[in-house]
Structure 1
Amino acid sequence: MTSEAVSTPPAIRSAPTSRSYYWLRSFAAGGVAGCCAKTTIAPLDRVKILLQAQNPHYKHLGVFATLKAVPRKEGFRGLYKGNGAMMVRIFPYGAIQFMAFDHYKKLLNNRIGISGHIHRLVAGSMAGMTAVICTYPLDVVRARLAFQVTGDNRYTGIINAFHTIYREEGGVLGFYRGLTPTLIGMAPYAGFSFFTFGTLKSLGLKHFPELLGRPSSDNPDVFVLKPQVNLLCGGVAGAIAQTISYPLDVARRRMQLGAVLPDHDKCTSLSKTLTYVHRQYGVKKGLYRGLSLNYVRCIPSQAVAFTTYESMKQVLYLN
């Protein structure tokens, strides 16, 4: 995702562009990018979870009807229910994912010899799975809180959710329900997301550098995409990645919600969950329920994530 500089001017070499604390600055850039992206689409994320898991209060509604119904029933803040847990999760998630992607990409290129566009696909998949494993318990708690409806609460907050899940659902293992479909789904999602964005970026800078790019503010030897082009490339990347991995995301959510759902005993493994959802609800209303919302949410989410990360790399002298 970065263009290599041919040389670094002395003035920049003396600035905070040194390799010292590079990993920390990379971690911060990814974390900020993740938080900005998720805050942008928090209401859509809440509605997505409600529809995917067939919440009884909203399952008869569509995407936009639910967006209108939630504020009426739960107030405007209802659209952001679970977002506190999301921010606690998404900063380390985004930080680990972007930092791991850069690390895996260099590792595959320099140590193993995998180069070209394929190394973005492999590195993106590995980075996504690494981030998921490190932050999965937070994602489970966030999903549980977002699924609740005001007046029908099972958990009073993040700490209570952690305590209740640990006590009632098998200890630590209770926080890893749905990990398998998450990892399986994350591999193509993150892989194709980073692959598409990185490929579009490299092709754009190679063939239309003056039209689509400009010199990086922290290193004039490196050309970066203009912000509006970053937004477009990020949106395309998100749309393609979500289309490929969406049924696995539906299975993941239902497994995460566990005992919250009345039919949780039918969703104990990836294959059983996919089979049950398909048999019970079909393809359009089951495996791909909420996909239209996902298109609406994934485009701005990925657009903001990649654009913010590219901007933060310049602010923190990562180029």
Structure 2
Amino acid sequence: MSSSSASAKGDYYWLRSFVAGGVAGCCAKSTIAPLDRVKILLQGQSPHYRHLGVFSTLTAVPKKEGILGLYKGNGAMMVRIFPYGAIQFMAFDKYKKMLSTRIGISTHIHRLLAGSMAGMTAVICTYPLDVIRARLAFQVTGDHRYTGIANVFQSIYRSEGVLGFYRGLTPTLIGMAPYAGLSFFTFGTLKSLGLKHFPDQLGRPSSDNPDVLVLKSHVNLLCGGVAGAFAQTVSYPLDVARRRMQLGAVLPDSDKCVSPMKTLKYVYEKFGIKKGLYRGLSLNYIRCVPSQAMAFTTYEFMKQVLHLN
């Protein structure tokens, strides 16, 4: 009886963890959907906006496509981001416990490895939806190629086959390893150091378990923002390569973007570092800071709401 009860409790724990991660991911992405659309347009060198910068594109899109133009592709993003966030946060907790208890890896290293593994796990499980979302977001009103999520799915399958849904997967995984690893590592390290050295100033008892100390909300936001900014700096060129490979036949120079290294080399030689490999980075700093801040803060909040502490 006790064994069955424990098993049920464990099942419910992972279900609650799944929901907490999904809600965190949706909240994070919803706050930066317009910035994501602009980033994709800049990374793909859209002919409609390639002559503009980050902020001028942000103001030009509503004028050309209406305010909802800033949210183009966001429906596909929400369909993807719930399972993505759910899998990533749930897998991180699972990998972290596995690495620390079974393998005995040190605290800092197991955060880095668990974050990398969790990020890659989430990417593999949800990648086709990311490709579909990128194709939708790259469209400009008056120059439509697809009519919706189902149409993108059918078009990619017919013209590119199953492998079309995984274009750019390799640079995504390569880029996700340092990004997710450094993001979870930085947040976890800042959190543990803050609670260890400044518990009264930065922490408070968890609402679902007074014996557990958690960071105050504004401190969570700060730590999450710092973690996102640091991780993004390291992995951004691979994000550019990933987007160009995902867009595939939509781009006139898609034949140059058939592998991660060839894409990086082509972008560097044709557009350079600032206008190629790091094009849109300033926007990414603006978007990744609130995104990661919201993701970690929401997840920490949902852990208390769903009694995960």
| TM-score normalized by the length of structure 1 | 0.94
The equivalent position to 2:127 in structure 1, one of 117, 120, 136, is 136
2:81 aligns with 90
Deviation at 1:92, TM superposition (A): 0.2
- 1:184 maps to 174
Greater helix percent: which structure?
Answer: 2
Could you tell me which residue of structure 1 aligns to residue 32 of structure 2? 41
Equivalent pairs, count: 303
Alignment-derived partner of residue 94 in structure 2 = 103
What's the counterpart of residue 254 of structure 1?
244
Name the aligned partner's letter for residue 121 of structure 2: T
The reply on whether 1:218 has 2:208 as its aligned counterpart is: yes
* Aligned residue number for residue 137 of structure 2: 146
The equivalent of 1:54 in structure 2 is 45
SS of equivalent residue, structure 1 residue 214 = strand
> Which residue of 2 is the match for residue 114 of structure 1?
105
Residue type of the alignment partner of 1:23: W
User: Where in structure 2 are the equivalents of 1:222-237 lying within 5 Å?
Assistant: 222-237=212-227
Q: Report the aligned-residue RMSD.
A: 1.1
Q: Distance in 2 between matches of 1:115 and 1:174?
A: 40
Q: How many angstroms apart in 1 are the aligned matches of 2:206 and 2:73?
A: 37
CA distance in 1 between counterparts of 2:49 and 2:137 reads 13
Q: Distance in 2 between matches of 1:20 and 1:209?
A: 32
Alignment of 1:153-168 (within 5 A): 153-168=144-159
AA paired with 1:191? G
> Take 1:116 and 1:63, find their aligned partners in 2: how far apart are those partners?
39
Alignment partner of 1:312 is 2:302 = yes
- Structure 1 ranges of 4+ moved more than 2 A: 17-20
In the alignment, structure 2 segments of 5+ residues that lack a partner are: 1-7
Distance (Å, rounded) in 2 between the aligned partners of 1:234 and 1:103: 20
Q: State the SS of the aligned residue for 2:204.
A: strand
Report Cα offsets for 1:41-67 as digits up to 9, x if no partner.
000000000001100000000000000
> Is structure 2 residue 242 aligned with structure 1 residue 271?
no
After TM superposition, give the deviation of residue 116 of structure 1 in Å: 1.6
Q: Provide the rounded CA distance (Å) in 2 between the counterparts of 1:18 and 1:202.
A: 27
Q: State the 1:296 CA deviation.
A: 0.2
What does the per-residue CA deviation read over 1:144-187, in whole Å, with 9 as the maximum and x for residues that have no partner? 00000011111100010001000011x21110000000000000
Identity of matched residues, %: 83
Which 5+ residue runs of structure 1 have no aligned equivalent?
1-16
Secondary structure class of the residue paired with 2:107 = coil
Aligned counterpart, 2:193: 203
TM-score by length of 2: 0.97
Shift of 1:18: 4.6
Query: 2:149 and 2:220 mapped to 1: Cα distance?
Result: 34
1:126 to 2:117 alignment: yes
